[in-house]
Amino acid sequence: MNATAHPGAAGAAKPPGGSPLPTLDVDRSDPAYRAWLKEAVRKVQADANRSADTHLLRFPLPPEWGIDLYFKDESTHPTGSLKHRLARSLFLYGLCNGWIRPDACVIEASSGSTAVSEAYFAKLIGVPFIAVMPRTTSREKCRLIEFHGGRCHFVDDPRAVYAEAAALARRTGGHYIDQFTYAERATDWRGNNNIAESVYHQLRLERYPVPAWIVATAGTGGTSATIARYIRYMQYDTRVCVADPENSCFFEGWRDHDPAARNDRGSRIEGIGRPRMEPSFVPGAIDRMMKVPDAASVAAVRALELAIGRKAGGSTGTGLWSALKIVAEMVGEGRPGSVVTLICDPGERYLDKYYSDAWLAEQGLDITPYTMAISAFLATGRWPC
């Protein structure tokens, strides 16, 4: 493959928010590069073609309430989280834009789940991958990144991941894939079996096929943006609620219409809650937000295991807590209908966090009042104040 000192001359696009292209680059008109690109795109598309859709599971509620609560179980993707969809979209976007190149490293800023999925796609197309992550990222996610051939690069301050990833890309001549900027635009929100289209398809034979609410959480904000835009595009009456954990600025930024909102503490709920209003978070598309205490997220995800026999990550608990509160409102108003939330990733990744009482004690989190609130609600239909 030819190398040229003039990447711009070959018509290369420069990623607006991502890393600048390196000085030594491939010639994009080189037939060997085009053959590599074709093969890389084929491999990513073939992976999608081999994959089945994720399940829509039911959370048992008393039948007399007339309300159905569902989980879109994104933990069953090949790399175990909703980020499999995003990683696929980001790789296709980066390949088709000419940003991901043969032998050049792909670098990401992540709290772990996206990096697990991206390491998988990087290996699939044969490029090196480095994940820049907070040092507190769960050990199991780091193990999975390395299992897929990726490398972990840690920073002490979670706010430093973006600058460190961009700097690494500059140093190595790689591409900072930048999920926080590109998630909302790399995903086909109008269709192409995105998460929202899949949910509506799977609800077709249910008694309430158009849910009253879909509850999501936000890391990049890409999932909530995809769902909310799809709903508007398809003219459904569903509302979208985003549940936000304690150490995050999304709720305040959305409530105060403040794109400069900040939160200086790293989120304890891995995958969601950010220190800045991420470019992929689209506040105008979100109908409602709820701030969820971290102890409530953990209580909810443990209640999930009691109800359906499955462990999930903390962000699933954040969404479930909000979904249960919305169900309580519907019960109180005598309004039947359905509510959908997500299982974002499996709990086995967090046995030493959300399923560890020692970790809870270390964090000063008491889940007892929230566990009691959920039990009381499920027994009576009333949300205890």
Ligand X SMILES: Cc1ncc(COP(=O)(O)O)c(C=O)c1O
Interacting residue ranges for ligand X, rule: CB under 6 A: 81-83, 111, 113-114, 183, 217-224, 271-272, 313, 315, 344-345
If the CB atoms of residues 67 and 90 are measured against ligand X, the closer one turns out to be 90
- The torsion defined by the Cα of 157, 158, 163 and 166, in degrees rounded to 10, comes to 130
Q: How many helices (H) and strands (E) does the chain have?
A: 13, 12
**Shortest Cβ distance from residue 184 to ligand X (Å)?**
9
Residue nearest to ligand X (CB): 271
If the CB atoms of residues 68 and 345 are measured against ligand X, the closer one turns out to be 345
If the CB atoms of residues 54 and 223 are measured against ligand X, the closer one turns out to be 223
In whole angstroms, what is the distance from residue 289 CA to residue 154 CA?
A: 31
**Shortest Cβ distance from residue 281 to ligand X (Å)?**
7
**Shortest Cβ distance from residue 274 to ligand X (Å)?**
9
If the CB atoms of residues 37 and 323 are measured against ligand X, the closer one turns out to be 323
In whole angstroms, what is the distance from residue 65 CA to residue 326 CA?
A: 13
**Shortest Cβ distance from residue 171 to ligand X (Å)?**
25
If the CB atoms of residues 81 and 194 are measured against ligand X, the closer one turns out to be 81
If the CB atoms of residues 81 and 338 are measured against ligand X, the closer one turns out to be 81
If the CB atoms of residues 113 and 338 are measured against ligand X, the closer one turns out to be 113
**Shortest Cβ distance from residue 24 to ligand X (Å)?**
32
**Shortest Cβ distance from residue 251 to ligand X (Å)?**
14
If the CB atoms of residues 174 and 222 are measured against ligand X, the closer one turns out to be 222
If the CB atoms of residues 344 and 365 are measured against ligand X, the closer one turns out to be 344
If the CB atoms of residues 68 and 184 are measured against ligand X, the closer one turns out to be 184
With helix as H, strand as E and coil as C, how does the chain read? CCEECCHHHHCCCCCCCCCCCCCCEECCCCHHHHHHHHHHHHHHHHHHHHCCCCCEEEECCCHHHCEEEEEEEHHHCCCCCCHHHHHHHHHHHHHHCCCCCCCCCEEEECCCHHHHHHHHHHHHHCCCEEEEEECCCCHHHHHHHHHCCCEEEEECCHHHHHHHHHHHHHHHCCEECCHHHHHHHHCCCCCCCCHHHHHHHHCCCCCCCCCCEEEEECCCCHHHHHHHHHHHHHCCCCEEEEEECCCCCHHHHHHCCCCCCECCCCCCCCCCCCCECCCCCCHHHCCEEEECCHHHHHHHHHHHHHHHCCCECHHHHHHHHHHHHHHHHHHHHCCCEEEEEEECCEHHHHCCCCCCHHHHHHHCCCCHHHHHHHHHHHHHCCCCC
**Shortest Cβ distance from residue 111 to ligand X (Å)?**
6
**Shortest Cβ distance from residue 9 to ligand X (Å)?**
36
Tokens of residue 284, six digits: 């105008």
List, in sequence order, every beta strand (DSSP E) within the chain.
3-4, 25-26, 56-59, 67-73, 106-109, 129-134, 151-155, 175-176, 213-217, 239-244, 288-291, 337-343
**Shortest Cβ distance from residue 272 to ligand X (Å)?**
5
**Shortest Cβ distance from residue 103 to ligand X (Å)?**
27
